[in-house]
Amino acid sequence: QQQVKQSPQSLIVQKGGISIINCAYENTAFDYFPWYQQFPGKGPALLIAIRPDVSEKKEGRFTISFNKSAKQFSLHIMDSQPGDSATYFCAASIGNQFYFGTGTSLTVIP
């Protein structure tokens, strides 16, 4: 059973546009929601994370929106750049147990 569902599987965005990746979860015990960015040939790197007691977290061009009642959270990349082209994974955790989404391959076209 997939604990975290991620969509879309792939996304193509024009340079300067907004990229939006969505995740949904079922287990209300999850208490930490990180996003990872993975470039080809590299391991996933922590990008930004949020706890369920806030509805939004922003770091530069990256924003997480969190909807606790809907059990959904999303990553927004503002002013998307070709250098943002990568695979993005959402995750949810309880303590040391992490559950990952299936990944979204983002391509930003110049």
Partner 1 sequence: SAVISQKPSRDICQRGTSLTIQCQVDSQVTMMFWYRQQPGQSLTLIATANQGSEATYESGFVIDKFPISRPNLTFSTLTVSNMSPEDSSIYLCSVVGTSGNTDTQYFGPGTRLTVL
Q: Is the backbone of residue 16 left (phi > 0), alpha (psi -120 to 50) or beta?
A: left
The tokens for 62 are 């990256």
Query: Which residue in the set 62, 63, 73, 101 belongs to the binding site for partner 1 (CB under 8 A)?
Result: 101
Task: Assess 93 for contact with partner 1 (CB under 8 A).
Answer: yes
**Is 103 near partner 1 (CB under 8 A)?**
yes
> Which one among 64, 89, 92, 108 touches partner 1, defined by CB under 8 A?
89
Nearer to partner 1, 43 or 110 (CB): 43
Q: Nearest 5 degrees, angle CA 75-CA 78-CA 79?
A: 145
Q: Does 49 bind partner 1 (CB under 8 A)?
A: yes
- Residue 10 or 55 with smaller CB distance to partner 1: 10
44 binds partner 1 (CB under 8 A): yes
Using H for helix, E for strand and C for coil, what is the string for 62-79? EEEEEECCCCEEEEEECC
Assess contact for 12 and 109: CB atoms under 8 A: yes
Token pair in block for residue 60: 């530069």
Residues that bind partner 1 (CB under 8 A): 32, 34, 36, 41-46, 49, 51, 89, 91, 93, 95-96, 98, 100-103, 105
